Amino acid sequence: MSTTSRMTDRYPSRVAPEPRILERQDPVVWGGAGDGPLTGDQLDRFDRDGVLMLQGVLDGGEVDELLVVADELASRPELRASERTIVEATSDQIRSVFEVHRLSEAIRALASDDRLAGAARQLLGSDVYIHQSRVNFKPAIHGEGFFWHSDFETWHTEDGMPAMRAVSFSVALTENFHFNGPLMVLPGSQNAYVTCVGETPDDHYKHSLRSQEIGTPDDASLHTLAERAGGEIRTQVGPAGSIAIFDCNSMHGSNSNISPFPRSNVFLVYNSVENTLVEPFSASKPRPDFIAAREFTPI
């Protein structure tokens, strides 16, 4: 697989026959307490853990409006037929709809809301733009999970994101319980880059967005990260309207949902305007814009 970027690759992955754990080369928090809505204590916790749960950011009315939008996006036949909609690997239920901040005015407004965008600018220490947005649906009883991964590993190898200077906001539209497949994060893992084994196949996204295998960590590295986390896994639970903020390199995943309670969230990824995409570091061609934006206008 050719790598066409002329930029030095500080985070090589999918190129060597054995996995390694490399040290992070970039800060986790780029801004300071005076730069936005997050307090110094919240910034410190994010710096240490790579994740921060904000309870009750959106009120009931805002959540209800977004739930209507999410259902509407999931029910539009032309969207359903397009590549923007990802269905589950073992059923025809919708798993994700991509680039939702361009499909819905309400989600566009959410993405530029200072409660989110202001926190993203503060964490990243610069203006930001949306690298990826999606609604994730984890339906009741048959919702499937996401295996452990670092988002940055994929965004670096497949999308050409140079540095660890991006942050994800997962906005809960339904309550996240311990038992309906909430986000799980290994605290502190944002500081370790687990390189993955196996070349990126052509058009990998067509498979990986349903069930990811290439670009996932090996078992031994996961054990090491769990040991470094003191044997702890953080599940992000909270009522609808809560937001889990997590670093682009945090090792995370989620279980399937066999509970009768669906779990839906709006997922927004902010990238620094000083970290715009180049050629993929380990894939033959970039992924489509609706998965990895190449329009870098600040929001």
Give contact residues for Fe ion (rule: CB under 5 A): 151
Closest separation in Å from C-beta 60 to ligand 6CS: 29
Of 61, 45, 241, 217, the closest CA to residue 148 belongs to 217
Task: Tell me how many residues contact ligand 6CS (CB under 6 A).
Answer: 9
- Cα–Cα nearest to 265, from 181, 205, 150, 185: 181
Question: From the list 154, 180, 254, 282, which residue makes contact with ligand 6CS (rule: CB under 6 A)?
Answer: 154
Torsion sign across C-alpha atoms 221, 225, 230, 231: negative
Give the residue from 138, 137, 117, 121 showing the smallest Cα distance to 243: 117
Note whether 265 binds ligand 6CS by CB under 6 A.
Answer: no
Please give the distance of CA 202 from its chain centroid, rounded to a whole number: 22
Q: Which residues of 119-154 are buried (b: 16+ CB within 10 A; e: fewer)?
A: bbbbbbbbbbbbbbbbbbbbbeeebbebebbbbbbb
Dist. CA 135–CA 246, nearest whole Å: 17
Partner whose binding site includes residue 209, from ligand 6CS, Fe ion, none (CB under 5 to 8 Å by kind): ligand 6CS
Structural contact between residues 94 and 87, judged by C-beta atoms closer than 8 angstroms:
yes
User: In the complex, which residue's CB is closest to Fe ion?
Assistant: 151
Query: Smallest distance from the beta carbon of 150 to ligand 6CS, in angstroms?
Result: 8
Q: Of residues 85-144, which lie at the interface with ligand 6CS (CB under 6 A)?
A: 132
- The least CB distance from residue 277 to ligand 6CS, in Å, is 12
Name which of residues 167 to 196 contact ligand 6CS (CB under 6 A).
none
151 binds ligand 6CS (CB under 6 A): yes
Q: How far is the CB of 244 from ligand 6CS (least distance, A)?
A: 14
* Binds 154: which of ligand 6CS, Fe ion, none (CB < 5-8 Å by kind): ligand 6CS
CA dist., res. 226 & res. 199, Å (int): 26
Residue whose CB is less far from Fe ion, 151 or 159 = 151
88 binds, among Fe ion, ligand 6CS, none (CB under 5 to 8 A by kind): none
Task: Write the interaction track for ligand 6CS spanning residues 12-31; mark x where CB under 6 A is met and - where it is not.
Answer: --------------------
Helices (H) and strands (E) in the chain, counts: 9, 13
Q: What is the DSSP letter of 152?
A: H
Q: Does 149 bind ligand 6CS (CB under 6 A)?
A: yes
CB nearer ligand 6CS, residue 138 or residue 149: 149
Residue 129 and residue 297 in contact, taking contact as beta carbons nearer than 8 Å: yes
Nearer to ligand 6CS, 174 or 250 (CB): 250
Residues that bind ligand 6CS in the complex, under the rule CB under 6 A: 132, 146, 149, 151, 154, 208-209, 212, 291
